[in-house]
């Protein structure tokens, strides 16, 4: 069996040699060798990849410092709101990042606590953070936010899934919407203080001279 296989291989090689000739075989081997990267090329690509990963790591650390440094005022807009006018479709919120966790003031009022988040830097320089939060009633909140290259504008989505199967989807941004109305603090009316009446003045009358 081995002899037959070896004979077939040799016969095939001789046929190729006769068909292509020495120059053709040499050209084919050269093409195959050119397709394989050299060791120098492999080292260069490995070095470029290491430098790219180092830049991404450095940028990720800068983004984490940026997130921790500031509190992020965002504006949540409810998607596909119900027709009743009682539902608030535009809601402001405050996000606080600290040591790899994020807390939403808006959701903390509903029983959600802070949670760990993941941070990914894309090739275009945009930083993406994601997290899932859960309250004591197994209601879920899914966050996905993006920070632009300058690290100044944040935007993203929030999905709230209740344990009863209800769902609310929001978009959010740090840019204040034109239709957002600030709620002014209502001050109690000032009490008017009645003006005090001036004290009565007593005019001194000249004393009568004694009769002589």
What does residue 90 show for φ and ψ, rounded to 5 degrees?
A: -125, 120
Q: What is the pLDDT of residues 142-169, one digit of tens each?
A: 999 999 878 889 999 999 999 999 999 9
Q: What does the pLDDT read at residue 187? A: 43
**pLDDT number for residue 68:** 92
Average pLDDT over residues 168-182: 89
Could you tell me which of 111, 140, 131, 133 has the C-alpha nearest to residue 67? 131
Given a cut of 90, whether residue 9 has pLDDT beyond it is no
Per-residue pLDDT for 198 more than 60?
no
Task: Give yes or no for a contact between 92 and 75, defined as CB atoms under 8 angstroms apart.
Answer: yes
pLDDT of residue 98: 94
Work out the percent of the chain whose per-residue pLDDT is above 90.
42
Q: Is the pLDDT of residue 184 over 80?
A: no
| 72: confidence class by pLDDT, cuts 50, 70, 90 | very high
Average pLDDT, the chain: 79
pLDDT at position 116 is 97
The residue that leads in pLDDT, 142 or 182, is: 142
Q: Which of the listed ranges 45-54, 109-118, 202-211 does the model predict with the highest average pLDDT?
A: 109-118
Is residue 193 pLDDT above 60, yes or no? no
3-state secondary structure at position 6: helix
The DSSP letter of residue 178 is T
Confidence category of residue 185, pLDDT binned at 50, 70, 90: very low
> 75: which residues sit within 8 A by CB, 6+ positions away?
90, 91, 92, 93, 172, 173, 174, 175, 176, 177, 180
């Amino acid at each position: 069996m081995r002899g037959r296989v070896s004979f077939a291989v040799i016969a095939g090689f001789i046929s190729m040699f006769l068909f292509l000739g020495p120059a053709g075989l040499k050209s084919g081997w050269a093409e195959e060798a050119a397709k394989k990267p050299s060791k120098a090329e492999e080292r260069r690509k490995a070095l470029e990849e290491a430098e790219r990963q180092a830049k991404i790591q450095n940028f990720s650390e800068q983004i984490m410092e940026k997130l921790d440094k500031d509190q992020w005022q965002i504006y949540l807009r409810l998607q596909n709101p119900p027709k009743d006018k009682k539902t608030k479709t535009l809601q402001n919120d405050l996000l606080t990042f600290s040591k790899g966790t994020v807390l939403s003031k808006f959701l903390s009022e509903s029983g959600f606590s802070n949670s760990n988040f993941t941070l990914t830097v894309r090739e275009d320089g945009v930083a993406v953070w994601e997290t899932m939060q859960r309250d004591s009633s197994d209601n879920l909140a899914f966050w996905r936010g993006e920070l632009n290259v300058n690290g100044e504008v944040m935007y993203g989505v929030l999905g709230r899934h209740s344990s009863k199967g209800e769902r609310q989807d929001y978009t959010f941004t740090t840019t204040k919407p034109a239709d957002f109305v600030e709620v002014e603090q209502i001050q109690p009316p000032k009490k008017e203080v009645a003006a005090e009446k001036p004290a009565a003045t007593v005019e001194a009358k000249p004393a009568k001279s004694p009769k002589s």
